[in-house]
Amino acid sequence: MPSKLRETAIKMYSNRTILTAIAVWLLFIPLSLLVPRIYLFELVNALAVATAFGVVVAYFRGIMAVLATPQKEMAGGHYLILGIVVAWFAAGLEYGWRYAWRVAGEPDWMIDHPALAFLIYMSATAAALHLTAKDAIGGVVPKRNWLKLSAAVALALMFALITIIMFGPDPRAAF
């Protein structure tokens, strides 16, 4: 293992935040084995909705400051805060949608409803805000950030096109 990678690994394993996250993730294994699946999904969906909106509430003052900031004064941190709030707001609504879908008896109309597509689209716009945030100053996003975003969009279009070509307009029909 190269020394730089070894140093990073040692630092990672001495970081309590990272170790706590790993421990919480590992706790899922016994949880998933002990809790009946239907209750497991109710539990994790409720947890996801609550924590997602918890993030939105925690960043409320920050988002209000971003919304009051003139374009020419915006910097990378503004884009990040906006991206965080949009991402977690969309995620909370999407998790809530899935939660409602399960509670409603998993109706087919909720699987590919345009409202769900919009929530996914919101998540993509949040990712775009994150991709454009680095080194943005005075409301100007560096060209390299636009190139990264363009590459991500091109990759997404390529995946969508391949899926449509391989499976037709309804990929579920192939299985």
Q: Are 92 and 57 in contact (CB under 8 A)?
A: no
Q: Does residue 139 surpass a pLDDT of 80?
A: no
pTM of the model: 0.79
79 and 114 both lie in a single domain: yes
The mean-pLDDT minimum among 63-77, 84-98, 108-122, 156-170 falls in 156-170
Average pLDDT over residues 138-146: 86
Res. 171 pLDDT band, cuts 50 70 90:
low
Average pLDDT over residues 105-113: 93
17 and 85 both lie in a single domain: no
Residues pairing with 137 in the sheet: 140
4 and 65 both lie in a single domain: no
* pLDDT value at residue 117: 94
In the chain, the number of structural domains is 2
Residue span of the structural domain in which 134 resides: 37-141
Give pLDDT tens digits for 39-91. 998 899 999 999 999 999 999 999 999 999 998 888 888 999 999 999 999 99
* pLDDT value at residue 101: 93
* pLDDT value at residue 1: 53
Higher pLDDT, 110 or 133: 110
47 and 92 both lie in a single domain: yes
Asked, for residue 29, whether it belongs to a domain, the answer is: yes
27 and 69 both lie in a single domain: no
**Residues 61-83, buried b or exposed e (16+ Cβ, 10 A)?**
ebbeebeeeeeeebebebbbbbb
The mean pLDDT of the chain is 89
Asked, for residue 155, whether it belongs to a domain, the answer is: no
Asked, for residue 146, whether it belongs to a domain, the answer is: no
Cα–Cα distance, 14 to 32 (Å, whole number):
28
pLDDT above 90 covers what percent of the chain? 59
Main-chain dihedrals φ then ψ at residue 13, nearest 5 degrees: -75, -10
pLDDT above 70 covers what percent of the chain? 93
User: What's the one-letter identity of residue 18?
Assistant: I
Asked, for residue 159, whether it belongs to a domain, the answer is: no
Cα–Cα distance, 157 to 175 (Å, whole number):
22
CA 44 to each of CA 66, 81, 98: distance values in angstroms, whole numbers, following the listed order = 31, 25, 11
Asked, for residue 165, whether it belongs to a domain, the answer is: no
